[in-house]
Structure 1
Amino acid sequence: MHVLVLSTGNPLLENALLASGHTVTVLQPAGTDSIPGTTRHTVEHWDDLDALTALEPALPDVDAIATIDEQAIVAAAHLRQLRALPGLTVDAARAYTDKATMKTALAAASLPVARHRVVHHADEVATAARELGWPVLVKPRAGLATLNTFVVRDPDHLKELVDTGAFDTRITDPTGRLTAGHVLDSLHEAPHGFLVEQFLDVEAEFFCDLYVHRGTVLLAVPGRYDAPLLQSVGDASFDTVLPPDHPDARDIADLATRAAAALGAQSGAVHCEILRDRTKGLFIGEAGARPGGGSITELASVMYAFDLPATLAALATDTRPDLDTTPRFPALTAVMIPAPAGTVTNVADQDAIEELPGVLHADIRLTVGQPAPAGIGTMTRAGRVLYVPDHLDTLDQEVADLRAALDIRAE
């Protein structure tokens, strides 16, 4: 097959398609590096659908259009619709990427979501908060990695945030992959406004990645974060894939499956965030028509022993992959390596870490004498350790011991 892939610079899907014998054309932002073995076209902005329409006749005839990048999901659906190709529709793509549309669709399907209002300026936040009740959560309609997402406690706190420029601050992107979308925009720059959302007293945050073929869930991979993401931004964190018989796993997988059905059936990966309020139970935070970020996809593929790139390539070409739903471990954790501010002066040897009990693999991207790589939002770039816990009840201490063994120092 000939596949057009919309990509922001991570060539995982492109390389997997090439390895499977497919012809690949890539549409990517101007200024990004070309991918060997592919034909390249460029785009200035993913959300400029008029420019995409003008570009479409210059693109080659293809059998499928695919992406695993959040920013390009609507653009891929738009080109797919112009070519009358199967896959996620534009309406479904907007439901998966616009949090206001998403929450409205989920609520219409009787699924638990936080109430919200769309506003266009900080001046409107207080009115929305009076309707929803203080405190409130402010977030972009389209975004990722908790960028420009924060709690507003009360009117005095709102004034403080306005005065310090919280609504006018653009995000700095050390990855260089986000410049062709609106992810880096300040809240006041958002062309269609931003969300003021009911505040949930979140005691735990879960995730679930679904691998779906023509609307049928082939594999659900539920898991949990060590702490709610808004509490762990910029801190060392760890993610754990839960076994199917874990008390929380069934409810998490069920909510994620129902969310995917409500937003739009497809062939591909769906990543869901599920929140547990201390008194109100489970809520769907959001769902994306893409694999999970960070180490979540790696956790899934190791836990269930499947080739992740080959699976994504199969789903991109509407081929049903053969996935085993039997877990290999009682649980599996990805321990994110904290990136200290400054120049690294000491870090443990990777081989020594991999010899520790329970460690499957370590990816340490800290080098003595070099500055620690900067992250963005909840995304870390310092590496991670893949670890099989002795017991979930003692996991916090096990992770603390593992981080102590890393012996990371900086000045």
Structure 2
Amino acid sequence: MHVLVLSTGNPLLESALMAAGHTVTLIQPAGTKPAPGHLGATRLTIEHWDDLDALSAMEPTLPKADAVATIDEQAIVAAAHLRELRNLPGLDVRAARAYTDKATMKATLAAAGLPVAGHRVVRRADEVPGAARELGWPVLVKPRGGLAAVNTFVVRDEDHLRELVADGAFDARVPDVTGRFTAGHALDSLHQAQDGFLVEQFLDLVGEYFCDLYLHRGTVLLAVPGRYDAPLLQTVGDASYDTVLSPQHPEAGAVLELAGLAAAALGEQTGVVHAEFLRERSGRLLIGEAAARPGGGSITELASTMYGFDLAATLAQLAVDEIPTLNPAPLYPALTAVMVTAPPGTVTHLADKATTEQHPGVLDADIRLTVGQPVPPSVGTLTLAGRVLYVPTDLRELDREVADLRTALDIRVSSPDGLQPTA
């Protein structure tokens, strides 16, 4: 088959498609450098993913294709637009917008009778108090489209709002440390958002969960429930960990049910839906958001390791409307990805890969820190310093087990001003 793949630098999907014998034509932002996995693929460029008029103008020049695919959040609407122009199967523009625009998403979910936090759309910081009077202080502000908790923060009251405005919180654009976001709006400031941003009811949370659904034409082939160590906004920039749970775990049932309902409401598809869920102190479980792509960070690796499947090959099969064989029986009672993090500065010491993998329960260590190098920056909740895959002994003691593992990593960093090293 010939597949048009919209990609921003991660060659996972197109490499797997070519390995399976398919022909790939890549569409990428003009500033994106070809990755090694792109060799052998025809490469075309655009300036911006949201310029659908430019895509429409490009479409007559594109080769005949059997499918349009992407695993990139920024390109989901663009891919749907090309499908509609070519009358190809897959997610359409209406559903693509419901999965990528949080305001449309929450309205769609609420209309289906599913639980979501109350919200309002505003365009400027001075409109936040009006929304907060309806929702109640404090409130959460966030982009309508974004990733990894970028430009998402709590506003306590009007005095706090004035402080945030004075500090430039609504006007600051997040630096593109990965080089993958120049053709999208994910890192724009809140005030740069053409269609405004969200003011959302602040919830008293005690937990946050996720679920990745592997789907073929709306039928669930595999459901991978899991939980974050704490609500994501509490872990931005901190040492965090994610855990996939057995479907039989007591916390998994409600998550699985809501994930299926969310995917059905937003638009059933062939591919992966990543959904997140919020547990209030009262016990109520709400849908935080859902995306028409695999989970970020280490979630896909956790899923493929937990269930013993080839992630890239599976994504490629789904992209060409094939049904992959996925075993729903987990290989472990639970599996955790411990994010490697360190304070700013220069790394002076850390345990190596071999030593870390001797620690009880460790399956694999991917440590991207090296002695003498500065600690890499993070983007929201996304860390660039690596992760350790770990099989928990007792989920009730997981905080302690992860703390012991971090101690074994023995990461030491000299502070930026050259003072005493810190751990």
The two structures have a TM-score, normalised by structure 2, of 0.96
- Give the Cα–Cα distance (whole angstroms) in 1 for the partners of residues 315 and 206 of structure 2: 33
1:398 alignment counterpart: 401
Structure 1 residue 375 corresponds to structure 2 residue 369: no
- Give the Cα–Cα distance (whole angstroms) in 2 for the partners of residues 339 and 257 of structure 1: 37
- Give the Cα–Cα distance (whole angstroms) in 1 for the partners of residues 343 and 198 of structure 2: 32
Structure 1 residue 52 corresponds to structure 2 residue 50: no
Structure 1 residue 251 corresponds to structure 2 residue 254: yes
Amino acid at match of 2:287: I
- Give the Cα–Cα distance (whole angstroms) in 2 for the partners of residues 353 and 123 of structure 1: 50
1:239 alignment counterpart: 242
- Give the Cα–Cα distance (whole angstroms) in 2 for the partners of residues 213 and 109 of structure 1: 22
- Give the Cα–Cα distance (whole angstroms) in 2 for the partners of residues 315 and 32 of structure 1: 25
1:14 alignment counterpart: 14
- Give the Cα–Cα distance (whole angstroms) in 1 for the partners of residues 342 and 110 of structure 2: 39
- Give the Cα–Cα distance (whole angstroms) in 2 for the partners of residues 280 and 115 of structure 1: 17
Q: Secondary structure at the match of 1:118?
A: strand
- Give the Cα–Cα distance (whole angstroms) in 1 for the partners of residues 363 and 157 of structure 2: 46
Alpha-carbon displacement from aligned partner over 1:83-137 (angstroms, at most 9, x marks no partner): 0000000000000000000000000110000011110101110000001111111
- 1:70-81 map, 5 Å: 70-81=73-84
Structure 1 residue 301 corresponds to structure 2 residue 304: yes
Offset of residue 2 of structure 1: 0.5
Structure 1 residue 112 corresponds to structure 2 residue 115: yes
Offset of residue 5 of structure 1: 0.5
Q: Secondary structure at the match of 1:224?
A: strand
2:220 alignment counterpart: 217
Offset of residue 339 of structure 1: 3.1
1:139 alignment counterpart: 142
Alpha-carbon displacement from aligned partner over 1:183-218 (angstroms, at most 9, x marks no partner): 111101100000011111111000000000000011
- Check conservation: 1:134, 1:199, Cα contact below 8 A: yes
Q: Secondary structure at the match of 1:390?
A: coil
- Check conservation: 2:366, 2:388, Cα contact below 8 A: yes
- Check conservation: 1:339, 1:374, Cα contact below 8 A: no
Structure 1 residue 188 corresponds to structure 2 residue 191: yes
- Check conservation: 1:204, 1:276, Cα contact below 8 A: yes
2:26 alignment counterpart: 26
Structure 1 residue 335 corresponds to structure 2 residue 341: no
**For this pair of structures, how many residues does the alignment match?**
411
- Give the Cα–Cα distance (whole angstroms) in 2 for the partners of residues 87 and 151 of structure 1: 37
- Check conservation: 2:4, 2:27, Cα contact below 8 A: yes
Alpha-carbon displacement from aligned partner over 1:306-351 (angstroms, at most 9, x marks no partner): 1100110011101111110000001000000013311111010110
- Give the Cα–Cα distance (whole angstroms) in 1 for the partners of residues 9 and 46 of structure 2: 13
- 1:85-100 map, 5 Å: 85-100=88-103
- Check conservation: 1:350, 1:362, Cα contact below 8 A: yes
Alpha-carbon displacement from aligned partner over 1:143-202 (angstroms, at most 9, x marks no partner): 000000011111111111111111111111110001100111110110000001111111
- 1:139-288 map, 5 Å: 139-279=142-282, 281-288=284-291
- Give the Cα–Cα distance (whole angstroms) in 2 for the partners of residues 278 and 18 of structure 1: 48
Unaligned residue ranges in structure 1 (runs of 5+): none
Offset of residue 73 of structure 1: 0.2
Q: Secondary structure at the match of 1:227?
A: coil
Structure 1 residue 128 corresponds to structure 2 residue 138: no
Offset of residue 280 of structure 1: 5.5
- Give the Cα–Cα distance (whole angstroms) in 1 for the partners of residues 156 and 375 of structure 2: 33
The two structures have a TM-score, normalised by structure 1, of 0.99
- Give the Cα–Cα distance (whole angstroms) in 2 for the partners of residues 120 and 232 of structure 1: 27
More displaced 10-residue stretch of structure 1: 261-270 or 33-42: 33-42
Amino acid at match of 1:52: L
- Give the Cα–Cα distance (whole angstroms) in 1 for the partners of residues 91 and 403 of structure 2: 42
- Give the Cα–Cα distance (whole angstroms) in 2 for the partners of residues 236 and 347 of structure 1: 16
Q: Secondary structure at the match of 1:276?
A: strand
- Give the Cα–Cα distance (whole angstroms) in 2 for the partners of residues 87 and 349 of structure 1: 44
More displaced 10-residue stretch of structure 1: 335-344 or 106-115: 335-344
Q: Secondary structure at the match of 1:283?
A: strand
